[in-house]
Structure 1
């Protein structure tokens, strides 16, 4: 979050460059991995450092957390204003990197859909991922300023409410991943705290804003 605050001006002024780099990294990663579920052993060490948080979803999750919390923080604060100024840009970057994490899972799921146990952890994760992508697409597309300008303010605002469903799906995805598949309970607790604190802050902000309206 500190990085997003300190580099908000650079990101806003050079957003297209950041998008281009993000697309390049994501496409390169997917091609290099050949849509496999594991990291190639031949990958150079420097690329492994980038590839691991990308393929595991840690990078996109970190960006989405910043986007989430931005909407839950006090709008009067300077740091919130800086984050709000690049919230759309961060959302787009998060969506781009989210594909690097999710596309291989989706491809693997559809390749084995006739053999896979639909109640297995992998199937549940894949279904949650597909639903998240479906909801993410309109949010992603309308985050681009040239497209957003063509949409009525009320319509765009209502569309953004889908983000809460996407956040829930991402949390469920993480929960199944760490509870039922990898059994990494410490990470499940960590993400539960992150999403839980966000929920409390967002509900608190909603209540305060409603009181002011009255």
Structure 2
């Protein structure tokens, strides 16, 4: 249920504050960092209960960050002249950076635990070794995609190079799904029915994106439109307008 609530709030945030995010992105990056810091704090200092615990749990698990990145991905499946694309397309880069910052609340504590086990990595279970390797790859891809979404950097990059880098979002999104399956399937098989809603949410999100993105690709090819990647693409209004 936390995933659904987070996704709803993220969509509302993006729609309401899209203009402010475009005008003052650094302010929202700082706010996202503060939210991530709160999540990390309560990871090591758990709240006894109530609303604070529920909020901290959502941040720790990366629900707001994932929802933000998923929203950025889904904006790309809409027609370039659609209301959704016109409203959120110009701010996709900024939203992707916010999403990446929010994901730090999930990535940093887990990575810290993995690094603590680095000295004994070869004695760990194969499943733990795979989780460690996957975490490192995901963090690297997320960092690359986020950095190349920064307008000051992207406008100085060769268009073809930028386009190739942005396409890393596809293996990133796929590996996120593998990561989610890895940690949810085992408890589900053991009878943890409380995870069913969350598991169903992720399956629907990834399946819907696969279908809609494929459809968008086919339609764009039919009319000869270029394809600029999915997650952090459309980092500026001018680039969005040329597609």
Question: Given the two structures, how large is their TM-score scaled by the length of structure 1?
Answer: 0.87
| 1:145-164 correspondence to structure 2 within 5 Å | 145-164=151-170
**Is 2:10 aligned against 1:5?**
no
**Is 2:210 aligned against 1:205?**
no
Which residue number in structure 1 is paired with residue 27 of structure 2?
17
CA offsets 1:136-187 (integer angstroms, 9 cap, x no match): 1111111111111211122111110001111111111111121125652442
Q: Which has the higher contact order (CA 8 A, sep 6+)?
A: 2
Q: How many equivalent pairs are there?
A: 208
RMSD over aligned Cα atoms: 2.2
Deviation at 1:79, TM superposition (A): 1.6
Which ranges of structure 1 fall in alignment gaps of 5 or more residues? none
Which residue number in structure 2 is paired with residue 112 of structure 1?
117
- The question of whether the paired residues in 1 share the 8 Å contact of 2:62 and 2:106 is answered with yes
Residues 78 and 41 of structure 1: is their aligned pair in 2 closer, same or farther, counting only changes over 3 Å?
Answer: closer
Question: Given the two structures, how large is their TM-score scaled by the length of structure 2?
Answer: 0.77
Deviation at 1:3, TM superposition (A): 3.2
CA distance, structure 1, for counterparts of residue 36 and residue 49 of structure 2 = 16
Which ranges of structure 2 fall in alignment gaps of 5 or more residues? 1-10, 226-243
CA distance, structure 2, for counterparts of residue 131 and residue 125 of structure 1 = 10
Which residue number in structure 2 is paired with residue 169 of structure 1?
175
**Is 2:185 aligned against 1:179?**
yes
- The question of whether the paired residues in 2 share the 8 Å contact of 1:132 and 1:169 is answered with yes
| 1:51-130 correspondence to structure 2 within 5 Å | 51-113=56-118, 114=120, 117-120=124-127, 122-130=128-136
**Is 2:165 aligned against 1:140?**
no
CA distance, structure 1, for counterparts of residue 57 and residue 15 of structure 2 = 25
CA offsets 1:16-62 (integer angstroms, 9 cap, x no match): 110011123323543x35xxxx5524568564343211111111111
